[in-house]
Structure 1
Amino acid sequence: MKLVELDLDTVRRTRVVVAGYTGRDEAQVRHHIEELARIGVAPPANVPEFYPMPDGALTFGTDVDVDGDRTSGEVEPVLVRLGGKLHLALGSDHTDRAREAAEGVAVSKACCPKPLARYALACDAAELDAVWDGIELSGLIDGDPYQEGVAAALRPLTQILAALDDRDGTAGEDLVLYGGTVPLIGGDFRYGDAWNFSLTVAEHRLTLDYRTRVRATEGATHG
């Protein structure tokens, strides 16, 4: 695996899909779906489920504009396929939690930008599968531990990619695929301003740091 800088112009024009319900333990996934149903979140039609993001969803900036104060990031391994070549990247599936129960998972994900680190690890499918279970993921919110886990808890990204290609008939097309996340420390969503995420595999460590800021609403006054 080799550290490379992504071609940001190309990646910005690439289709983005967020995969959900990607846990490797199917019983835990079913339990999670039942938990969400109890707070009004509709169950997915498929497991895993795929959520296409709108054009322009990706951001490489350090300032991310959101629509409310109940949004949160999720550290995620990301598979970037460009010209048939694969890259393991680090992203955040930033999501509007207030809209998740009110309007559904697809809307809550699509209304927030998707931060992505500028650097990634060039690899092939065999290399990624070989190191997958040892990938470590962690995140901080406003400097406090927020997420921590290993990719072994998730379906391998190569399997998720194969499921998406099979379902959509898009094998070989350029794609940015967010692959799911690891548990929250304490189990509850928290909200803040500064998000610091990392992905560690072998001798490589990818990082992603950004701050959220709430967009001013129409009619708001400013001092």
Structure 2
Amino acid sequence: MHFSLPDGHRVAVEVRALLNGGFAGRSQDDVAEHIAELVALGIPAPVKTPCLYPIAPFLAVQSGEVYAQHGRTSGEAEWAMVITRDDVLLTVACDHTDRDLEVHGVAWSKQAAPDMLGHQAWRLADVEDRIDELTLTAWVRNGEWTEIQAGTLAELLPPQYWIDVLHTHNLYAPGTVLLSGTIPMIKGVDQFADAWRVELGDPHTGRTISTEYHVRRLPEPIA
């Protein structure tokens, strides 16, 4: 993967480990409420929270398309932390997930679709002092673009929390990419859309990083 930084530098990263945070809200009371909603939909509750799901590294992509086998897949607005040889980068991400498979296991559903990352990034050290002020917004396209998620990074566990977790489990190494988990979706908006756009914003500088992709349905199996 390649990331462009604000100072013009371009960083190449070979992804060696991909990890997805789950149930990673800063308020674990809100997380418990969300888990209860998922259980009511038949999705298994985690044994403990927050969770960290190892995902196949090749599922971290910078692409404009996701291929899906059916119409019940959707994204999740997230930030992603990228460990390089010399630095820690922060970028935007969208964790595309198979919602039908999710009822059989969250880890399975995440393994069935890619993690979409932005082409730009910021050095974590440059924004860490205002991390909670950064914004995370997502839109879906069902004919027209509609906002489906909006919040700040204050709603999620901070990068430093996950850096400590990586060190504890000997996972802090160049090529590790970690996604943050997501913020709530706006009720009443259809998440099963034909396109997703996610934006990470820094109100202090006015800079934004975005990723956008189309969801392409695969043809029915040939038999």
TM-score exceeds 0.5: yes
Residues 144, 58 of structure 1: alpha-carbon distance in 2 compared, 3 angstrom cutoff: same
Aligned-residue sequence identity (percent) comes to 27
> Residue type of the partner of 1:64?
V
> Residue type of the partner of 2:182?
T
| 147, 151, 154: which one aligns with 1:152 | 154
Q: Any idea what SS the aligned residue of 1:23 has?
A: coil
* 1:123 counterpart residue number: 124
Verify: 1:17 aligned to 2:19, yes or no. yes
Q: Please give the alpha-carbon distance, in whole angstroms, between the structure 1 residues aligned to 2:140 and 2:22.
A: 22
RMSD: 1.8
Residues 5, 66 of structure 1: alpha-carbon distance in 2 compared, 3 angstrom cutoff: farther
Q: Please give the alpha-carbon distance, in whole angstroms, between the structure 2 residues aligned to 1:5 and 1:45.
A: 40
Q: CA deviation at 1:188?
A: 6.0
| 206, 209, 212: which one aligns with 2:209 | 206
Q: Please give the alpha-carbon distance, in whole angstroms, between the structure 2 residues aligned to 1:195 and 1:5.
A: 25
> Residue type of the partner of 2:196?
W
Q: Please give the alpha-carbon distance, in whole angstroms, between the structure 1 residues aligned to 2:197 and 2:119.
A: 14
Q: Please give the alpha-carbon distance, in whole angstroms, between the structure 1 residues aligned to 2:34 and 2:189.
A: 13
Verify: 1:133 aligned to 2:135, yes or no. no
* 1:218 counterpart residue number: 221
Q: Please give the alpha-carbon distance, in whole angstroms, between the structure 1 residues aligned to 2:44 and 2:190.
A: 18
Q: CA deviation at 1:128?
A: 4.0
* 1:194 counterpart residue number: 195
* 1:85 counterpart residue number: 87
* 2:56 counterpart residue number: 54
TM-score (norm 1): 0.88
For structure 2, the 5+ residue unaligned runs are: none
TM-score (norm 2): 0.88
Q: Report the number of matched residues.
A: 212
Q: CA deviation at 1:199?
A: 0.6
Write out per-residue CA displacement over residues 83-116 of structure 1, whole angstroms, 9 at most, x where no aligned residue.
Answer: 1410011110110111111x21000111001111
* 1:182 counterpart residue number: 183
Q: Any idea what SS the aligned residue of 2:100 has?
A: helix
